[in-house]
Amino acid sequence: MKIYSYFLSPSFKKIWLSADLAELLRLPGPGYTWLEYRKWLELIHPDDRENAEISARKKSREQTGRVTYRIKIADSEYLKVEDIRQEIPVEGTGKRLIQGMLLPLETGRDTITVQEALYEIARLSVEKDNLVELLRAIHLTIRNLMPAENFYIALYDKESGLVSFPYFVDEYDPPPPPKPAGRGLTEYVLRTGQPLLASPEVFARLENEGQVESIGAPSVDWLGVPLRVQDEVFGVMVVQSYTEGLRYSEEHLQVLSFVANQAALVIKKNLAEELRKETERLLTDSFASIQDGISILDLQMNIVRVNPVMEKWYAHALPLVGKKCHLAYHGKNNFCDPCPSLETLRTLQPACEIVPRTGPGGKITGWLELFSFPLIDHRTKRLKGVIEYVRDITERKKAEDAMLASLKEKEILLKEVHHRVKNNMQIISSLLNLQSGYLKDPEARSALKECQNRIYSMALVHDKLYREKDLASIDFSDYAEKLLVHLFQVHIPNSEGVTYSVRVDVPALTVDMAIPLGLILTELVSNSLQHAFNPGQGGSLEVSLLPEGEKLVLEVRDDGRGYQLESGSRFGLEIVRLLSAQLGGEFNITGLHGGGTLARVSFPRPRPAQG
């Protein structure tokens, strides 16, 4: 079999002919000979010239493929040839040139063998879905064209930087594992993107230049061609000989290059298909391995796909795929209300809901936390359906329900404690009131009354906690109102004609803060009603609790006869000072210009509770 090769420049002006083709056409010159393309056309039979012409004016698909024509090899003799053409990139230029192989049709069976090899590789791309089987079949096909007992395919992965050998047949070396790209002949072809016929002399020259290094058993001839799709070199096809009598030629290089160009498309397609299948297997395995339930719905809320967990939970309703979700999962003929998946379809936003898990007959067998997410086709940006991610929270809900029940019990018990504390304080207050009836000394009776007021202010805190839902804090505004009503009733007749106002602008207070503030307010208001106003005199009393910077300020202001420190008020004011210090604050009491008294307690704001 004799094959002749040529290359046509990207400008379609010059053509390079191999030495044997130049010799066939009786053209002088060593190695490759070039001549103007129009001179080449003159060698083609006039009747075949239009069919054989290659030019920039023609569509690119007409530059490749096969064409038959007659070419002049002597003064009056023409040889009928089949011209097999393909485009190949010019390294580093972004341009492409035409590579051609002339197969003399008179050679009969050999020509058919090359054609059959190309057709066979195209057929393999359809029949072989396993990469190793495909490469083995390509190897057998190449062995029909040339000596190829030692044959391997090397593939390069840009992301990992590894060279792997999915198919490797060799007399001496075992298949190497994937490895980083080194300085072997394989990597040299990968780097340059050019075919290489490495005789011992060529290898020695490249080794001396530092281009390559020896790897594996030394071969007599090493022939490698790049596997290329468009401008990407992704692998190398190699045959090699360890026998002195078996040598490779430029003709073998041309044949292997031509076959490799066809095989590259097939291998690349197979690699892409294997990657797709591997990705699909990974996604399928991941989908099946998730221990929570996954259900995919279409836009009509039909179940498209489920994982094994959903099939296990709803085994009584199998098959699930194809059914409406509300029928398969809940035994309902209509959509659930609320339905997070419907909400997701409407808003394109994730949604969440706790839903019952039902068994045969609609019986509730557990509880599920259902998260719905929009399923978007990222190519078209269109909504395709809903992904439901479902987690079994039956045990968690049981624990939460038990905890809530326990908390409810504790709330009831705590309310009962506050109720009993309040009752006990009222009993103590009643005992003090009963005792005061047996006392003749007015100061002693007054002291017992003041103790009763203090006890009432504390009992009022527990009474409010008993009646409120929030057992941790108190609305001080309502508390102060009720406390002042009580104190005004206790201090009749001094309080007759006296008006009061309450202004509170602070968050609810904790028990630890409300009790001392209640006691302070009791002492200050009692002091004003006892010492600032005479019976029937009238006047006004103002109470406020307001923020001031980083502090809270409690003020009690009256317009009575002015600040006078009576003997009976000393103990009460001492209590105020002690309680102010307990709050980390300060207490001051002053007389006002024009009459009246201002008592002021400032203390740090309480820190918000840490969540």
296 plus 354 within the same structural domain: yes
The answer as to whether 286 is a domain residue is: no
Residues 224 and 350 in one domain: no
* β-strand pairing of 303-306 with 293-298: antiparallel
Contact 243, 220 (CB under 8 A): yes
Q: Are 494 and 604 within one domain?
A: yes
Residues 137 and 124: beta-carbon distance below 8 Å? yes
Residues 419 and 367 in one domain: no
What CATH number is associated with residue 145?
A: 3.30.450.40
Find the mean pLDDT for residues 473-498.
Answer: 84
- β-bridge partners, 500: 541
The CATH number covering residue 41 comes to 3.30.450.20
Q: How confident is the model at residue 50 (pLDDT cuts 50, 70, 90)?
A: confident
Residues 539 and 401 occupy one common structural domain: no
157 shares its domain with 256: yes
Give the residue numbers spanning the domain of 507.
Answer: 472-611
pLDDT of amino acid 202: 93
Asked if residue 401 and residue 330 are part of one domain, the reply reads: no
For position 608, what pLDDT does the model report? Answer: 63
Clarify whether residues 121 and 270 are in a common domain: yes
State how far the Cα of 83 lies from the Cα of 138, in Å rounded to an integer.
23
Q: Average of pLDDT values for 410-414?
A: 62
Lowest mean pLDDT among 34-38, 165-169, 463-467: 463-467
| Residue 285 counted as domain residue | no
**Stretch among 114-118, 184-188, 517-521, 566-570 having the lowest mean pLDDT:** 566-570
pLDDT score at 109: 45
One domain for residues 402 and 254: no
End-of-domain residue from the set 331, 353, 384: 384
- The pLDDT assigned to 471 comes to 53
User: Are 465 and 476 in a shared domain?
Assistant: no
Mean pLDDT across the stretch 344-364?
88
What pLDDT was estimated at residue 611?
Answer: 43
Structural domain ending residue among the three candidates 359, 384, 409: 384
Domains contained in the chain, number: 5
Give the pLDDT band of residue 255 (cuts 50, 70, 90). Answer: confident
Long-range contacts (CB closer than 8 Å, 24 or more residues apart) made by 584-590: 585/551, 589/563, 590/563
Report the predicted TM-score, pTM, of the whole model to 2 decimal places. 0.48
Per the domain annotation, does 152 fall within a domain? yes
> In terms of domains, do 173 and 188 share one?
yes
Which of 545, 483, 471 has its CA nearest to residue 510? 471
> Among 474, 352, 464, which Cα is nearest to 418's?
464
- For residue 343, pLDDT beyond 50: yes
Does some domain include residue 143? yes
> Which of the listed residues 329, 364, 384 is the one where a domain comes to its end?
384
Q: Does the residue 373 lie in any domain?
A: yes
Asked whether residue 282 is domain-assigned, the answer is: no
User: Is residue 361 domain-shared with residue 241, that is, in the same domain?
Assistant: no
Which residue has 């836009």 as its token pair? 299
